[in-house]
Amino acid sequence: MVGAPACGDVMKLQIKVNPATGVIEDARFKTYGCGSAIASSSLVTEWVKGKTLDEAAALKNSQIAEELALPPVKIHCSILAEDAIKAAVDDYKKKHAH
C-alpha cells in the first residue's frame, strides 16, 4: 500500500503471478482518492496483465500520465500508481525468494 501525503490518496495494488512463468495473470486495486488516482490505478491493472514482473516494474508514471492526459496538478496520481506497482512486485519477490 502506498500513499501521497500531499493529498491523502491511498492506493493498494495486488497481483496474481504464474509461478512457472513469472507473468502477471491478474491485478486488482483499491484506491481511496480523486478520480485521477482511481483512473491511474485502473489503467495500471490493465497494463500489467500479461507482463513479467520486471516489465511491470519498468512502467513509468510519465506513460500513465500521458495515456490519461493528466493535468500537471494531477501528476502525483500517476507517480502513486508507479509506486504501487513497484511495491506489489517487490512484495511478491520478497515472499517468493528462493
Could you tell me which of 40, 34, 23 has the C-alpha nearest to residue 83?
40
Q: Please pick, among 4, 7, 23, 87, the residue that the annotation labels catalytic.
A: 7
77 in active site: yes
Q: Please pick, among 64, 65, 70, 77, the residue that the annotation labels catalytic.
A: 77
- Helix 75-95 with 35-48: angle, nearest 10 deg: 40
34 in active site: no
Residues with active-site annotation: 7, 77
